Chains A and B, each alone.
Chain A
Amino acid sequence: NAGVTQTPKFRVLKTGQSMTLLCAQDMNHEYMYWYRQDPGMGLRLIHYSVGEGTTAKGEVPDGYNVSRLKKQNFLLGLESAAPSQTSVYFCASSYDRGRHTGELFFGEGSRLTVL
């Protein structure tokens, strides 16, 4: 059982370039999330989704877009990368509210560097 899988695990971009991070989960979870982790800041929520075809903004959504075309996949896009987006990105998923108490299952992270 793979759980939550993120690709790519590492990426280096130049300022202004675009890219997409892919998150896939095989646990049939309804909810999916994208967080970024920066030193001394903990994890901050970028966007989340409560089901296929839905997305919502989190705490730090600016400069990112997301899509949830399939239940098992959640894509995070950067249209024009900036050095401030250098970070480690984590995808997570969870059951819907009726079946869980909030526990998130995390991927191993994607380290992005923007030069």
Chain B
Amino acid sequence: DSGVTQTPKHLITATGQRVTLRCSPRSGDLSVYWYQQSLDQGLQFLIQYYNGEERAKGNILERFSAQQFPDLHSELNLSSLELGDSALYFCASSTRGGLDTQYFGPGTRLTVL
């Protein structure tokens, strides 16, 4: 158990809908990262937050957004969902957000029908 928690574990929804994925980092970690894992794209970095502020952005679609709250938990919002958004979404956290180890949560499996 990495200490990173994610909810829900599974999510099934329809195209065009909007969902919110939640992540709680390890105790004491200030940085949160979101990754998407699909069969054809592998693990892809989406976005990073550090102490409430966006720090780095990767291959995140405009339909997706994220935020980190004062209590350091983070939410990833996915809107206007398409079939191709079906994937595993992982959250990782690290202490400071530099070259320190990222610890991953168990993931949320999103299925868009």
* Genuine A/B complex: no
Chain A contact residues, CB within 8 Å of chain B: none
The interface of chain B, by Cβ under 8 A from chain A, is none
